[in-house]
Amino acid sequence: MSFLCRVLFAISLASIASFTNADSLSTIAGKQLTGELVAVDGQGVTFSTSEIAQLKVPAKEIHLIDLGHPIVPPPKDTKYNELELTDGSTFRIAKFAIKGKKIATEAGFKLTDQVFVALKSEKMPESVLTKLTALKNKEFSRDDFEKEINTLLNADEAKQFQRLILNHAATDILPGPSGLAVPTYELTLGAVFSIMRGAEDNKNRDAWKKMLANRGKRDLYVIREAEGLNFVSGTILNGNETGDILTFEKEDGAKAELRLSRATGGLVFAQPQPTQIASTLCKVFDVFGNVLVAQSLEISSAGVVVTTVNGVVVKYPSSKAISKLDYSQGNVAYLSDLDPQVEVPEIGVDEKGLRLNVTAPFIKNRGLSNEPLKLGSEVFPRGLSIAPDSKLTFNIGGDYREFKAVVGMQENSPDADLEARLTIETEEGRILFSEVLKRKDKPKSVGLDVKGVKQIRVIVEADLPVNGNRVILADARVQK
């Protein structure tokens, strides 16, 4: 156990008892601190507890920091789009425009006839609606709009209805908690991977993923049709001054003017591979539902500034806009999130009918019949179910310190005598673990030293290769 882990263990109970509504820091080792996040840098964080005012916690030992500000779900029946950067950061946006080489998503608020109808259906008093007519069809920034509301309404009315008014009047970025300003940022076309319309609908998301898997190497102008998504391939060159018309170069070189509104499915940008990629510090989850893959994060009295891995700077006027900092992205890699090289033996003519014809050498995060992964009495959301006579090789890059998993045989087979050998070895063939697992045995926790190991090879062998001999590697992961 590291010195830091011993310190955390010693002070965690005292700190939990001394802070209310405090920040919470959990480590990869399972320790938890309650206190206040003071600062963040590339090496880790400074955390204040009741016992230690300036505790330095290395980034590689952090799992999650919860700042106690819940993510606000979009209001019921709200439609929104999801903008994804080239580094995987995502933004929920209600509206966007493309002006020249820039994408505009700056928040605006406007009380239209449609908004008044919506507010009336929400049972807003006529007296309040009458006061709001002074703002009808005028567009405001978030700050100016809130000032106007607070001027027109009395304190009780503003407290009761401001959030509702903001929800319905927002024209671009989805609003968060009342009184909390949305983040500001500037986006160029080169920073964006895609903009998916209708992101609130899981069916749209599934269709989008399926389309991306076969997208080719050009930009896509995507149209949602009754039978699914269709697209035009080419290059999105720029937008006009008002942001509603795209100049689009088709694959044959011809240029066309396309309305942005008719890209009812969205847009995809085929960006060149960057020559250099900044290191990921953590994932930042904000209360608006945005997720930023951050290379740096600064906290001050002026708010929070996040710089994403691809260089987009996102500014929050208040730290209350930040919900969580997830450090597990760089510190932990689950095998079920990796794509291994798979080797299975060919079945000889004399063995056909005697050996398992493996059509699914491994399954991620579920069992053979789509049931949850279970060992003993515990259900695991992550893991692998591996068929006998399978060999899986995972690239882990030599950056991790330890491999951990709970291993055992799947339990839905009626034959308690089934068994299989599980071997885990390095790329050079050095054996890290090799044991015969039996159906009737209790699950086993495994921890292996993988410092400097670039590949791990997971091998399952059985004299009787049947589906009941599948080995489960539950919660299998490598960590720094």
What is the rounded distance in angstroms from the CA atom of residue 34 to the CA atom of residue 52?
11
| 85, part of any domain | no
What is the rounded distance in angstroms from the CA atom of residue 248 to the CA atom of residue 255?
6
| 203, part of any domain | no
| 442, part of any domain | yes
Per the structure, how many domains does the chain have?
3
What is the rounded distance in angstroms from the CA atom of residue 103 to the CA atom of residue 101?
7
What is the rounded distance in angstroms from the CA atom of residue 373 to the CA atom of residue 411?
10
Per residue in 195-225, pLDDT (tens digit) is 999 999 999 999 998 888 777 889 999 999 9
In order of 64, 146, 168, 214, 300, the CA distances from 319 in angstroms are 16, 19, 25, 40, 8
Q: Are 299 and 40 in contact (CB under 8 A)?
A: yes
Q: Are 264 and 219 in contact (CB under 8 A)?
A: no
Tokens coding 38: 């003071």
What element of type H or E holds 374? strand 373-375
pLDDT score of 89: 93
| 327, part of any domain | no
Per residue in 73-105, pLDDT (tens digit) is 887 778 889 999 998 899 998 889 999 999 987
Which structural domain, as residue segments, surrounds residue 114? 109-169
Residue 171 has pLDDT above 60, yes or no: no
Boundary residue ending a domain (34, 51, 66): 66
| 444, part of any domain | yes
What is the rounded distance in angstroms from the CA atom of residue 170 to the CA atom of residue 145?
10
Tokens coding 56: 């330095």
| 97, part of any domain | no
The answer to whether residues 61 and 150 belong to one domain is no
Lowest-pLDDT choice from 142-146, 240-244, 352-356, 367-371: 352-356
The answer to whether residues 60 and 116 belong to one domain is no
Tokens coding 376: 């003993």
Residue 130: partners with Cβ closer than 8 Å, 6 or more residues away? none
| Percentage of the chain exceeding pLDDT 70 | 87
* Number of other CB atoms surrounding residue 300 within 10 Å: 9
The answer to whether residues 16 and 154 belong to one domain is no
Boundary residue ending a domain (169, 186, 216): 169
